[in-house]
Structure 1
Amino acid sequence: MRNYQQELLNIIFLLNLLILKSHLQSTKTNFFGTLLKYGVPLVISVGLCWLLFSNDDIDLAGMMEIVRRECDFRWILLNLLLGIMAQVFRAARWQIQLRALDIRPPFRQLVLSIFGTYSVNLVFPRLGEVWRTGYIAARERAPFTTVFGSMVADRLADTLTVLILLLLTFIPAGAQLREYLGQSGGALARISEILGSPLLWGFVIAAMAAVWFVFVRFPEHKVIARLRSIISGLWKGFAVVVTMPGRGRWLIFTVLIWSCYIMSLYCAFRAFPLTAEVLVIHGPTALAVCFVLTSLAMGVPSNGGIGPWQWAMIFGLTLYSAGVAGLTHEYALTFANLVMGVQTLMLIVQGLFTFGCIAFSKRSKPLSK
């Protein structure tokens, strides 16, 4: 199974390079670019799910029996409710940024935009953020780049939060994580080698110097002028976080968002007796490791995290399976698939609700500020 994981990581790395290349190409729509943006994530999701079930030892009937016999769906319901609360808090946090830009959509519309974002990402990965930006910008007749900049700041805050949690997690569990990564084909050593490569940093510096030269040498060129305008709008939406009123409330909502996510996973662990036993034996460290790994897995281009999330969860539970009798690969797979399955179903329901509300509001009255 470890060989499967290593080959899959290599494939994902190459596919990410292809996606990056497509984003750097012309903005003109082409079949190849569309295929890379939307086809590749779908292939990754399907491929990872296929690998999850391709093992001859997997018994679907046995997995269903585990769910029927051991799952306490009351904890799963709490898991879903906390996930919804996190999305509502995210809308409240974004509202603070938008008000600082004098963009004032109703809170209800912001909640719908967040609901719709995750639902769109199920079908078109990475397009959900663009959709919510366009929806709010069009509804409020606001500059798209400014709204998009505020969304980028919103997502950057999440990235920084995950990195902080990763660093905090490595304090109690770093040795165990390094040992596992070392057994998985030297992944940690290769990452360190790449980040420490003079060639990589030389290329980064050369690219930044070339961009700076072009902007200074040809400031009046129409393409450069357009890029400056876009960058200015993005920066306006991004930098408002530093100067806006309500920064304290913004930080509180950030804490509430991630507290909901962590407690949501805690509730999922409590739904199964063996994963609950992991919490009893290993404490919050096990929960933190699994949470960070699954959060990082959401960065892999896929449809709503389907596939990468399960792999990351199984990976995390494997680190703590030795002290829990019965926590087999099949049990971990059952747990991961059920949690991801009910969350995906929730996002589908949210999407139907969101776009139904939007369609009804358009039919009732024209969009206006």
Structure 2
Amino acid sequence: MPRLLQTIFKFIFFLAIGLFFVWLSIKDFNASQRAEIISYIAAADYWLIVPIFVLLVISNVLRAARWRLLIRPLHYHPQLFNVFAAVMIGYLTNLAIPRAGEISRCGVLARYEKIPVDKLIGTMIAERAVDVITLAALLLFSVIIQLDVVGDFFFHQFLRRQGQAAGKPYHVWVIITAVALIILGIWIMIRYFSHLRVYRKMRISVIRIGRGFRTVLHMRGNVWFFIYTLLMWAVYFVMVKIGFYCLAETQQLGAKAALAVLTFGSVGMLMPTQGGIGPYQIIVEKILTLFGMPVKISVAMSWLLWIAQMGLYLIIGFIMLLLLPVINSTRHDSAKV
């Protein structure tokens, strides 16, 4: 199959998955309820896009600076603008073909900084390893600091024990059950599926994550790498908190809700759809209802947060796509003089 047809097929396939999840998220609403959700979205305070835009740029400048730290041991010193532009173009690519952005940003930077692509891919794997571990740690922290909410959700949704969770110390049982399910899942995977290709791929991914994290731990200047990482996630957190102020009904949501939306919503963003469309909305809507938000408000907020992020990634990505060759041609011309 020609490469263009493969790209078109992947785009349609992943978009179809995303639209299926979108349908799942709204299928239980009638026409008037959907119109009400749209009215909430239309009435949002869109001036808050300005600070979110600034924070989005800052977070990705931090990401670019962090990536440069991984590249420098290879004896290359790329311009921060080029690294930032490559990161944003990678996000733009992901909006078309999920997971293709990681390779595309390496290709873009290799083109303008004359760095071998295979070396950049190695640094990208190390960077992603830290992101995966950081997200896992934040997910665990988010669950631990709000076990009452998680406990109620677990016993209401999975054990169907409505009316019994209030005032009951279910927290320990939630932890025990979760740990037991994880251990059981790992055992079943090793015992019955170790011969399958998907298991081998998962095992390779885990090994790569471990190697990537060890690379960062032994890297010179790793303290700054972790500082950039913490600052980056802190900016993401503030972005979500500001997003809550788009609707009057969600302005009272606190830090715990923002952390839960950030962490669990990030898992939705990792799903193989364009920008996580569909899974992100479902996850954020469920999280917000746990914090007492009406379902229609939760759905509206999930779309507002997604549209703000993906819309800005789209705009900045296209701007970088246009500016990158111009800036570098000027740079090369000045170097010749």
1:265 corresponds, among 224, 235, 240, to 240
Amino acid at match of 1:125: P
What pairs with 1:63-74 in structure 2 (closer than 5 Å)? Answer: 63-69=37-43, 71-74=44-47
What pairs with 1:109-148 in structure 2 (closer than 5 Å)? Answer: 109-148=82-121
| 1:62 corresponding residue in structure 2 | 36
| 1:358 corresponding residue in structure 2 | 324
Look up the SS of the partner of 2:72 in the other structure: helix
Q: Give CA-to-partner distance per residue, 1:271-313, whole Å, 9 cap, x none.
A: 222211232xxxx222222222101111211101222211111
Amino acid at match of 1:97: L
Q: CA separation of 1:32/1:107 partners in 2, compared to 1, >3 Å: closer, same or farther?
A: closer
Q: CA separation of 1:267/1:234 partners in 2, compared to 1, >3 Å: closer, same or farther?
A: closer
Indicate yes or no: 2:274 matched with 1:303.
yes
Contact 1:149 1:234 in 2 (8 A): no
| 2:250 corresponding residue in structure 1 | 275
Q: Which runs of 5+ in 1 are unaligned?
A: 1-27, 212-232, 322-326
Contact 2:130 2:212 in 1 (8 A): no
Q: CA separation of 1:236/1:53 partners in 2, compared to 1, >3 Å: closer, same or farther?
A: closer
Q: Using the TM superposition, name which of 143-152 and 198-207 deviates more.
A: 198-207
Amino acid at match of 2:17: I
Indicate yes or no: 2:262 matched with 1:287.
no
Q: Which runs of 5+ in 2 are unaligned?
A: 160-173, 201-207
Indicate yes or no: 2:229 matched with 1:254.
yes
| 1:244 corresponding residue in structure 2 | 219
Q: CA separation of 1:181/1:103 partners in 2, compared to 1, >3 Å: closer, same or farther?
A: farther
1:48 corresponds, among 13, 18, 21, to 21
How many residues get paired? Answer: 308
Look up the SS of the partner of 2:76 in the other structure: coil
Q: Give CA-to-partner distance per residue, 1:87-122, whole Å, 9 cap, x none.
A: 110001001110122121111100101111111100
Indicate yes or no: 2:184 matched with 1:196.
yes
Amino acid at match of 2:190: W
Q: CA separation of 1:234/1:184 partners in 2, compared to 1, >3 Å: closer, same or farther?
A: closer
Q: Give CA-to-partner distance per residue, 1:214-233, whole Å, 9 cap, x none.
A: xxxxxxxxxxxxxxxxxxx9
Deviation at 1:179, TM superposition (A): 3.8
Amino acid at match of 1:273: A
Amino acid at match of 1:120: T
Look up the SS of the partner of 1:123 in the other structure: coil
Amino acid at match of 2:130: A
Q: Using the TM superposition, name which of 341-350 and 56-65 deviates more.
A: 56-65
CA distance in 1, matches of 2:178, 2:144: 22
1:312 corresponds, among 283, 296, 299, to 283
What pairs with 1:310-349 in structure 2 (closer than 5 Å)? Answer: 310-321=281-292, 327-349=293-315
Deviation at 1:237, TM superposition (A): 7.6
Q: TM-score, normalised by structure 2?
A: 0.79
**What percentage of aligned pairs have identical amino acids?**
23
Q: CA separation of 1:75/1:49 partners in 2, compared to 1, >3 Å: closer, same or farther?
A: same
Contact 1:125 1:304 in 2 (8 A): yes
Let me know the Cα RMSD of the aligned residues.
3.5
Deviation at 1:66, TM superposition (A): 2.5
Deviation at 1:206, TM superposition (A): 6.7
Q: CA separation of 1:287/1:62 partners in 2, compared to 1, >3 Å: closer, same or farther?
A: same
Contact 1:75 1:267 in 2 (8 A): yes
Amino acid at match of 2:290: L
Q: TM-score, normalised by structure 1?
A: 0.72
CA distance in 1, matches of 2:213, 2:134: 17
CA distance in 1, matches of 2:266, 2:241: 14
